[in-house]
């Protein structure tokens, strides 16, 4: 597989790098960022945290704003941040910020015109880890995390594939997308009118019936403008109680939906994942 290095920056003794490659899953060129901690410099394989970003974001937001490199370097954990959606002139798009490019929602689209490119679920689950583990000193010990739309994606991927991930966490996830405006719009477009298929990508519905568990950590700001209408963490909490899922959900007074919130608690999330990645 051919990948092209776009940029390299030394950070806390490790390296942050951007790459592009052609994705057979998405039928387009994709970009991702990777932070390799100093422990990977001698070829030793390190475990990985996959980070999924939210609406309108790219691979750059988390790497530049979250302040995660210092702790990742200390813990010896690689961070991989893919783009949120397929890109390119021939990729279907929408005028709204919450559909199309920048809003892939980490699903496998089944409806035209989206199904040609929008298969972010398969990309994150299969193609990207295979590329990373083949091209870099990164092991198959994986955890996954994300923010907002990416928090939704991280939870869904871990809940549906507990054997693939050691742990999962999320900041301000879209917890019950089948019952919120963002989710209804995206799922209706990508998955069609049959709402039964939507349940496969709803973290609350998946957690409610889960029988195999991945340790889960969720942090939610109480001053988040999207809290009531879009995020609905209470639905995730209720689902965990019903199935006995090992979910730790923390609410934080005064914090909003921004990367200031993520930067404030990213150390706790990285330590959480490292505990399971290194066990």
Write down the pLDDT at residue 151: 98
Spatial distance between the Cα atoms of 50 and 72, rounded to a whole number of angstroms: 12
Q: Is the dihedral of CA 135, 141, 147, 151 positive or negative?
A: positive
Mean of pLDDT over the chain: 97
Nearest-CA neighbor of 84 among 146, 142, 24?
A: 146
Q: Summarize the confidence of residues 111-125 as an average pLDDT.
A: 98
Predicted TM-score (pTM) of this structure: 0.97
Token duo for residue 111: 């409806």
| Cis ω before 95 (30° cut-off from 0) | no
Write down the pLDDT at residue 231: 98
pLDDT at 253 over 80: yes
| Catalytic positions, written as ranges | 148, 224, 257
Write down the pLDDT at residue 42: 82
Spatial distance between the Cα atoms of 252 and 201, rounded to a whole number of angstroms: 26
What is 211-235 written as a DSSP string?
Answer: -S---EEEEEETT-TTIIIII-HHH
pLDDT at 30 over 80: yes
Q: What CATH number should be reported for the domain holding residue 152?
A: 3.40.50.1820
Q: Summarize the confidence of residues 112-136 as an average pLDDT.
A: 98
3-state secondary structure string, 92-103? CCCCCCCCECCE
Cβ 230 vs Cβ 176: under 8 Å: no
What is 92-133 written as a DSSP string?
Answer: ---SSTTSBTTB-TT-B--STTGGGT-BHHHIIIIIHHHHHH
Q: Summarize the confidence of residues 257-271 as an average pLDDT.
A: 98
Q: What angle do CA 132, 248, 210 make, to 5 degrees?
A: 70
How many CA atoms, within 13 angstroms, populate the side-chain half-sphere of residue 213?
14
| Structural domains counted in the chain | 1
Strand ranges of the sheet holding 216-221, from the earlier edge strand across to the other edge:
3-11, 14-23, 28-36, 78-82, 46-52, 138-147, 168-171, 216-221, 247-252
Note down the domain range covering 138: 3-278
Of the chain, the percentage scoring pLDDT greater than 90 comes to: 97
């Amino acid at each position: 597989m051919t990948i092209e290095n776009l940029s390299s920056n030394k950070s806390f003794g490790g390296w942050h790098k951007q790459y592009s490659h052609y994705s057979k899953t998405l039928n387009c060129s994709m970009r991702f960022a990777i932070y390799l901690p100093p422990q990977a410099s001698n070829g030793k394989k390190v475990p990985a945290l996959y980070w999924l970003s939210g609406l309108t974001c790219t691979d750059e937001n988390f790497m530049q704003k979250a302040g995660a490199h210092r702790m990742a370097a200390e813990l010896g954990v690689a961070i991989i941040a893919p783009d949120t959606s397929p890109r390119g002139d021939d990729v279907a798009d929408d005028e709204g910020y919450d559909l199309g490019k920048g809003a892939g929602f980490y699903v496998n689209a089944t409806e035209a015109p989206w199904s040609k490119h929008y298969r972010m679920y398969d990309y994150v689950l299969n193609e990207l880890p295979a590329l990373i583990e083949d091209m870099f000193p990164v092991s198959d010990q994986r955890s996954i995390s994300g923010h907002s739309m990416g928090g939704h994606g991280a939870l869904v991927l871990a809940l549906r594939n507990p054997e693939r991930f050691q742990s999962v966490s999320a900041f301000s996830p879209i917890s019950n997308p089948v019952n919120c405006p963002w989710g209804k719009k995206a799922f209706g477009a990508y998955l069609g009118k049959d709402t039964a298929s939507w349940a496969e990508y709803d973290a609350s519905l998946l957690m409610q019936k889960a029988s195999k568990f991945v340790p889960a950590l969720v942090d939610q700001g109480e001053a988040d403008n999207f809290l009531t209408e879009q995020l609905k963490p209470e639905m995730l909490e209720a689902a965990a109680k019903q199935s006995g899922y090992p979910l730790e959900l923390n609410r934080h007074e005064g914090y909003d939906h921004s990367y200031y919130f993520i930067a404030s608690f990213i150390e706790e999330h990285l330590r959480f994942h490292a505990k399971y990645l290194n066990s």
